[in-house]
Amino acid sequence: MILRARHVLAAPDGLIDNGALRIHEGRIAEVGPAAGLAGEPVTDLGDGLLLPGLVNAHTHLELTHLAGRLPPRGNFADWVGRLVDALQADGDRPDVVRQAVAGGRAACLAQGTTVVGDISRLPNITRPELAGGPLRVLSFGEVIAFGRLRHRLAERLEAAANGGARSEFLEVGVSPHAPYTLEPDGLRTCVGRAVACGLRLCMHLAESREEAAFTERLSGPIREYFERHGLWDGQVPRPGLSPIEYAAATGVLGPDTLLAHVNYAGERDIRRLAGAGAHVVYCPRTHQAFGHQPHPFRSMLDAGVNVCLGTDSLASNPSLSVLDELRFLRSVHPDLPGRLLLDMATIRGARALGLERLLGSISVGKQADLVFVPLAERSADDPLEQLLSGPAYPSAVWVGGRPVL
């Protein structure tokens, strides 16, 4: 079939006015001016912008049921404690997890997101739920093995790396949770398993001030939390390093690694990230909700770091909409080029997830994962700015050429 729209955001040409694309067997077979495409039935989408499916490179679909229940307040360790309490209350029940994942998947697709990097504490439950699509998922199984939980490393890593649920829509990866929930040997073990199995890594890194206090001195609210809950056993080695130095020393940083948040990074840290080829996913509205200092993503971009966008979960964000993240960024950074912002939500996210050859742009040969957003009729304004500053949301979404909205 052929889809026609007033504007098509194609690569590498950019915006095509009165553009169209041909879909054959789920892939983009041809793209260009509508006048040059013929032969199949044409679906005329009308006035609006046809763009690649959006990429949410960092979220937690299984926390969807916590929407509105955990407003960020106090220090980060206290909020994590409230999160853990909520999960222990009902969040680990298989029926709750499945329902949360299904709700998160539907919310993503409705807002034009066609692929996510999902962190899962319970991959044995979430992966079978997600394997049937239509949302594309790179499922990072989460590993926490610290202090008195140290003995769980092998079990959690096996669950994380288990590829039994792979499908057309689902790939698997490993997520060593954070520098404060894995000791050096555990981190190195996770990295070694990922490398041996050809899996990508995702790690929460430099997310809070409390994290640095812990990795450098084993002090602060994070240690206090572990002591209060009986997880501290006195055998935890002191890294004596900043979070990013700690990640580098244990082999975490590399071109197959996606780092979530990285809210606190100086010039030296940024150079280290760029040199390692690691990817950073910035979650703008979650970052704002916790009151962090301004995010250094612009310095990262200038240094050559691949920065993409995520929402984090509904436990800290009012929606799973990458488009809402883009609009928030446009309001705070009006000078940034619109195409750069769109790239952070599409091709840069696909690159971070190792899917750049298949997804992330409207290019011949790639999967026909597409989003159409209606815009003002016959407006003379830049359609990218209309998208980034306007109120419209997707009216149609395709995954592999199949309509899902």
CB–CB of 143/176 below 8 Å? yes
More confident residue, 30 or 164: 30
With a pLDDT cut of 90, the percent of the chain lying above it is: 86
Q: What is the pLDDT of residue 38?
A: 82
Region 126-138: mean pLDDT is 97
Per-residue pLDDT at 13 exceeds 90: no
Binning pLDDT at 50, 70 and 90, where does residue 380 land?
Answer: low
Enclosing H/E stretch for 309: strand 306-309
Per-residue pLDDT at 165 exceeds 80: no
Q: Which residue has the tokens 């450098």?
A: 216
Region 15-26: mean pLDDT is 96
Strand 170-176 versus strand 370-374 pairing type: unpaired
Closest by CA position to 346, among listed 363, 360, 362: 360
Chain segment 73-90, per-residue pLDDT in tens = 777 888 988 898 888 887
What contacts 228, CB < 8 A, 6 or more positions away?
none
Region 97-106: mean pLDDT is 97
Phi and psi torsions of 202, nearest 5°: -135, 135
> What is the SS3 assignment for 22?
strand
Instruction: Tell me the average pLDDT of the chain.
Output: 94
Q: What is the pLDDT of residue 90?
A: 74
Task: Indicate the pTM of the whole model.
Answer: 0.96
Binning pLDDT at 50, 70 and 90, where does residue 163 land?
Answer: low
Binning pLDDT at 50, 70 and 90, where does residue 209 land?
Answer: very high
Closest by CA position to 256, among listed 276, 228, 275: 276
Name all domains of the chain by residue range, CATH numbers in brackets: 2-52+362-403 (2.30.40.10), 54-352 (3.20.20.140)
Region 36-59: mean pLDDT is 94
Chain segment 284-322, per-residue pLDDT in tens = 999 999 999 999 999 999 999 999 999 999 999 999 999
Q: Quote the CA–CA distance of 186 and 269 in Å, as a whole number.
A: 23
Q: Quote the CA–CA distance of 391 and 277 in Å, as a whole number.
A: 36
